[in-house]
Chains A and B, each alone.
Chain A
Amino acid sequence: MSNNASSVVGPSGRTGPPAVNLARKSRPAESAIRVVLTSSAFVSVAVTVGIIAALIRPVLDFFGEVPFGDFFSTEGQFAVLPLVAGTLMVTVIALLVSVPLGLGAAMYLSEYASRRARKFLKPTVELLAGIPSVVYGFFALTFVTPTVLQDLLGVQVNFTNALSAGLVLGVMVIPTIASLSEDALSAVPHSLRQGSLAMGANRMQTTLRVVFPAALSGIAAAIVLGMSRAIGETMIVALAAGAQKNLSVDPREGMQTMTGFIAQTAGGENPVGSTSYNTLFAVGMLLFVITLLVNVVSIALVRRFRQVY
């Protein structure tokens, strides 16, 4: 066969190579599009740079007039520590709600629910994250505080209080923690579960002692990201947590958070450029830096959990 094949090569084949032009062509449209796409991608970097640039001038102006010590102080017009404490209080309450409930939901979805149930249940849980925070805030103010806390549970709370805001914020953060934790739990190889079940452990023991520890870094990332959400959430706390700086450890009292302060100050009548207006940016900068640090931790944790599997 192959002997015959060689005869296919006709004389035309040996008259020398036909002219083939392989030279690089310039494609101006292609290059232009490349530039447009690349610049678009760099816009996202410009946004981060822009955030820092937008904050830095008013922040410098602010610290030109207000000493550092007056800002990082517990008392006074420009004191930020009561706001940080308020944020911390609300965040802790929110995490107390969302971490157990989010993890429980994640474990149910990943370890117990059938494939069909999961397909239906996961979007339902995620719906919680789709409700606007102003709606949650209104709900905290008009339903959770008067009806649930005061009437139903008999807790003596102020009209605005950290407890109500924290609880509702916790509900809002559940899907963040549930969804990411579920990913982490589902990524644990089946062989681990089967090994445990084969040794006579039941599903609860397998979930808690084998799957949960194996997914720990992913779950930690989920919790940290939930924390970042809670710290940065504005409308719930602006409506339900209170508009007064209050350095207190009693969650039944109203207390202002960093985000609540920014919303109040920006919505107020402070003239642009005034020191009280610039406080807004100083608090905003602090908020940005705190959430940035939290996010970096979360991204690092996600990366670690991706590396494991």
Chain B
Amino acid sequence: MSIATTTAREVTQSLATGRSKEHGPAALIFLGLLWFSMFFGVVVLLVLIIDTIIEGSSRFDGALLTEYGSRVSPETTGFRAGILGSAWLMVFTALFAVPLGIAAALYLEEFANRDRWWNRLIELNLQNLAAVPSIVYGLLAVAVMALLGFDNSGTVLGGAIALALLILPVIIITTREAVRAVPREIRDGSLALGATVWQTTWRQTLPSAIPGIATGTILGLSRAIGEAAPLVVVGLAGSVRFDPEGLLSSITALPMQIFSLTSQSQEDFQTAASAAIVVLLVMILGLNGLAIFIRNKFQRTW
């Protein structure tokens, strides 16, 4: 590929030596190093996935999905509670974070005057929040739960608060990009007809931006579903033997179950953890696939 793409530039090369400068030893070594950098991570990823699938292959059975975790029978331990817990967490995380994130993004893009210091403060703050360690959001959720008067924060509510706060910056940033992609002319056309800023936002900008917002939201959720650190801090249990029943029901989550299994030394538990990782990766891949599908199918190019 490199040879094909360099042809255009060979005009500049010395013809007298008869040897292309692009193929000197140093240039080739450099290109080799870039190739190595490019594909090292991909190879690691492949090894990780293949190793996990091989390790977990003996446990790809129905019990993996339908059974609760068990300490006494490691060969049939399951992740029913974790899978359901993660599903509940995702639903409530989305319910908390998506409306809030979209509203904040619409304010920043459509209403805020960028010359005002408080709007610049919000921008700066968002950039910082996006890089705050996820575990810190766990500490924040513990405090919020205490403020709301709940002793036990290892619940659907506590976990969802932590994850919602964690992905809020992601949702705001992606929504803003989607909103910004809607051309200025559409807004001008609407405003010139006498529509208010909100009418324009609600009836023109937002509908056009929905595919982008959906893509960003799903990618945010796919990040949240794999997070364990904030859930450890809010006190989600590693093993729960019942289905979630409500916002205040104590739950576990799939990554939490995987985390707690790693401290078990029995081989069967390691196998089960590998199989559960495959389940988790399939869920994440599914979400990413959905996001890509939405982007390709509905995204409008202006």
| Residue of A43, A103, A127, A132 with highest tally of chain B CB at under 10 A | A132
Chain B, 29-67, contact with A by CB distance < 8 Å: what is the 0/1 string? Answer: 011011111101110110110011001000000000000
B258's nearest neighbour on chain A, judged by CB, is A134
Scan residues 5-41 of chain A and give those whose CB is less than 8 A from a CB of chain B. Answer: 27, 30, 33-34, 36-38, 40-41
Choose among B36, B132, B133 the residue that contacts A259 (Cβ–Cβ < 8 A).
B133
- Check B112 against A235 for contact (C-beta < 8 Å): no
Interface string of A195-216 (1 = CB under 8 A from B): 0011110111001100000000
Closest to B42 in A: A124
CA A107 – CA B138 in complex, angstroms?
37
Specify the main secondary structure of chain B where it touches its partner. helix
Interface residues on A, range: 35 or more
Known: A143-B51, A263-B229. A38 touches B2 (CB 8 A): no
- Which residue of B has the minimal Cβ distance to A206? B9
Chain A interface, >50% SS class: helix
Contact with B along A249-289 (1 / 0, CB 8 A): 00000000001001100110000000000001100100110
A residues 119-165 with Cβ under 8 Å of B? 121, 124-125, 127-128, 130-139, 141-143
The reply to whether the CB of A223 lies closer than 8 angstroms to some CB of chain B is no
- A231 interface contact, C-beta 8 A: yes
User: Within 8 Å of chain B (Cβ to Cβ): is A245?
Assistant: no
Is the Cβ of B12 less than 8 Å from the Cβ of A112?
A: no
A34 to B103, CA, bound (A): 10
Q: A50-B144, A114-B1, A135-B281 are in contact. Are A44 and B126 (CB under 8 A)?
A: yes
Q: Flag if A55 contacts B38 (CB, 8 Å).
A: no
The answer to whether A38 touches B229 (Cβ under 8 A) is no
Range class of the B interface residue count: 35 or more
- Complex contacts, A34 vs chain B, CB 8 Å: 111, 198
Given the known inter-chain contacts A41-B112, A108-B37, A114-B1, please indicate yes or no for A280 contacting B139, CB distance below 8 A.
yes
**B76 close to A (CB within 8 Å):** no
Please report which residues of chain B, range 94-148, place their CB below 8 angstroms from some CB of chain A when the two chains form the complex: 99-100, 103-104, 106-108, 111-112, 121-122, 124-129, 131-136, 138-140, 142-144
Q: Which residues of chain B come closer than 8 Å to A89, judged between CB atoms?
A: none
Whether, in the assembled complex, A53 has its beta carbon less than 8 Å from a beta carbon of chain B, the answer is: yes
| Residue contacts A-B, CB under 8 angstroms, 12 given | A37-B103, A44-B129, A51-B136, A55-B139, A55-B143, A108-B37, A132-B228, A135-B280, A138-B52, A202-B24, A262-B233, A284-B136
B residues lining the A interface (CB < 8 Å) = 1-2, 4-6, 9, 12-14, 21-22, 24, 26-27, 30-31, 33-38, 40-42, 44-45, 47-48, 51-52, 55, 99-100, 103-104, 106-108, 111-112, 121-122, 124-129, 131-136, 138-140, 142-144, 165, 168-169, 172, 196-198, 222-223, 225-229, 232-233, 235, 255, 258-259, 262, 270, 273-274, 277, 280-281, 284, 288
